[in-house]
Amino acid sequence: MTTMLPRTELEQDAFCQESSELFSKPLIEEYEIDVQWQKIPQRYARLDPKLIEERIWQIKEQLGSKLTILAHHYQRDEVFQFADGTGDSYKLSKYAAQQTSEYIVFCGVHFMAETADILTTDNQKVILPNLLAGCSMADMADISDVEDAWTDITNLLDDTLIPITYMNSTAAIKALCGRNNGIVCTSSNADKAFKWAFNRGNKIIFLPDQHLGRNTAYQLGIKDDDIIVWNPFKQLGGNTEQAVRNAKVILWQGHCSVHTRFTVEQINNTRNNYPTVNVIAHPECTSDVVSAADYVGSTEFIINTIANAEEGTIWAVGTEISLVNRLAKTNPDKQVVCLDSIVCPCATMYRIHPAYVLWTLEGILFNNPVNVINVSREDKEAAKVALDRMLSLEVIDD
Ligand code: 13P
Ligand code: SF4
């Protein structure tokens, strides 16, 4: 059997279009895009985005310090503008841990809101405006498949296996890592997490993004001979017992449907069109793209590198289009283009339409909060152990 793709992956191309600008339309028009949307009261469907915007600013004012809105860099501009804190997944998890407001409306995807729920107190409520804003990569690692793999591998080995999960995974998987001496990482600290893990064991299983895992392993000098990929739909992940015993790094067979769109051919074409271009890519891209790029790093790294670059420089970016468009606007002294000429926002991030934000804010205002994220106490405690290990990585020397 080949890999079964989650629904979120199959829906990824639904928002792809030719134009480089993305504008929010009334929800009723966006509903025509062939993906599943969370049902919300009909009255929001026809609201004009301008009216929604005014109403959100009013409610934000009324709720004052009771409310914090956090937004990931891949959010649409029409949502991003309301954020009290913005960042990549790492920065947002740190923000969430520092907040004292009663409500945190998390404009991002499901695993990010779960992380915020884990890192905040029991008196705080984390709200995800659209519950169908999942993440196709996180959906590729189902906890029961991961538990099966863990049992299969540990039954076979005498070595100490350390689990590392990328932030882009469910709370249940973070909890599995917490319970088994493992750690969470993001794209900005995956190398530190690998070093941390190899100080404690001689084998790593990395979930769920095979590309970030492979790129990090290569960065640390680990060769292909020491790396295997685990396909959850095959016996022993599609490997022989010997291969599992020999491997230093076991990569879960997951990927990001946004970042794996970028290709070396796009890089070559861009270099032909703009001979002085700087190519910068996210480490969720495939390893051939990463090695063909001039710079590689997390979302926050990409933003800072372009912001600090010299005037007049040209940048081709391999990451999510809402961020690339924003970088082009906020760096008018440079030329910023996307590596991919087809515009494909992350289909799950894009499901946070302003109407959903308004719906959740009105819920808070009228004491009837909706879409509150509730990670079970058991998973919260175990996942927090793995997250706290990650948050302490920055004070650990390389
Ligand atoms: P970072 O926010 O860690 O750069 O990850 C990118 C991403 O794909 C988030 O879903
Ligand atoms: Fe998931 Fe990729 Fe979208 Fe990030 S960009 S939320 S990893 S699908």
Ligand 2 and 212: CB distance under 6 A: no
Question: Do 186 and 174 share a structural domain?
Answer: yes
Question: Do 90 and 38 share a structural domain?
Answer: yes
User: How close is the Cα of 365 to the center of ligand 1, in Å?
Assistant: 31
Q: Report the mean per-residue pLDDT for the chain.
A: 94
pLDDT over threshold 90, residue 396: no
> Which residue's alpha carbon is at the smallest distance from atom 10 of ligand 1?
168
Question: Do 307 and 162 share a structural domain?
Answer: no
Flag whether 356 is in a domain.
yes
Ligand 2 and 137: CB distance under 6 A: yes
Spatial CA neighbour of 186 closest among 87, 279, 269, 334: 87
pLDDT over threshold 90, residue 383: yes
Question: Do 287 and 243 share a structural domain?
Answer: no
Mean pLDDT of 197-225: 97
Question: Do 157 and 168 share a structural domain?
Answer: yes
User: How close is the Cα of 398 to the center of ligand 2, in Å?
Assistant: 28
Ligand 2 and 140: CB distance under 6 A: no
> Which residue's alpha carbon is at the smallest distance from atom 7 of ligand 2?
256
pLDDT band at residue 123 using 50, 70 and 90 as cut-offs: very high
Q: Which two tokens stand for residue 255?
A: 């990927």
Candidate from 19-28, 212-221, 292-301, 327-336 with smallest mean pLDDT = 19-28
Flag whether 355 is in a domain.
yes
**Which ligand 2 atom is the nearest neighbour of the CA of 12?**
8
CB 55 within 8 A of CB 42: no
Ligand 2 and 253: CB distance under 6 A: no
Flag whether 236 is in a domain.
yes
Ligand 2 and 136: CB distance under 6 A: yes
Ligand 2 and 12: CB distance under 6 A: no
Dump pLDDT digits (tens) for 31-82: 888 888 999 999 999 999 999 999 999 999 999 999 999 999 999 999 999 9
User: How close is the Cα of 245 to the center of ligand 1, in Å?
Assistant: 31
**Ligand 1 pocket by C-beta < 6 Å: which residues?**
88-90, 135, 168, 186-187, 256, 284, 298-299
Flag whether 343 is in a domain.
no
Question: Do 353 and 333 share a structural domain?
Answer: no
Distance CA 281, CA 301 (A): 10
Question: Do 222 and 183 share a structural domain?
Answer: yes
Question: Do 309 and 287 share a structural domain?
Answer: yes
Flag whether 48 is in a domain.
yes
Q: What is the pTM of this model?
A: 0.94
Q: Which two tokens stand for residue 154?
A: 């540990």
Question: Do 353 and 321 share a structural domain?
Answer: no
Spatial CA neighbour of 285 closest among 214, 351, 181: 214
Domains contained in the chain, number: 3
CB 360 within 8 A of CB 127: yes
User: How close is the Cα of 210 to the center of ligand 1, in Å?
Assistant: 14
Dump pLDDT digits (tens) for 1-24: 345 778 777 777 777 776 666 788
The domain that contains 45 carries what CATH number? 3.40.50.10800
Distances from the Cα of 90 to the Cα of 155, 169, 334, angstroms:
33, 13, 27
Distance CA 173, CA 16 (A): 30
Q: Which ligand is nearest to the CA of 298?
A: 1
Flag whether 319 is in a domain.
yes
Flag whether 272 is in a domain.
yes
CB 102 within 8 A of CB 123: yes
Question: Do 286 and 180 share a structural domain?
Answer: no
Dump pLDDT digits (tens) for 229-282: 999 999 999 999 999 999 999 999 999 999 999 999 999 999 999 999 999 999
Question: Do 106 and 37 share a structural domain?
Answer: yes
Question: Do 313 and 244 share a structural domain?
Answer: no
Distance CA 105, CA 362 (A): 12
> Domain range holding 300?
259-338
Distance CA 108, CA 346 (A): 11
Flag whether 44 is in a domain.
yes
User: How close is the Cα of 47 to the center of ligand 2, in Å?
Assistant: 28
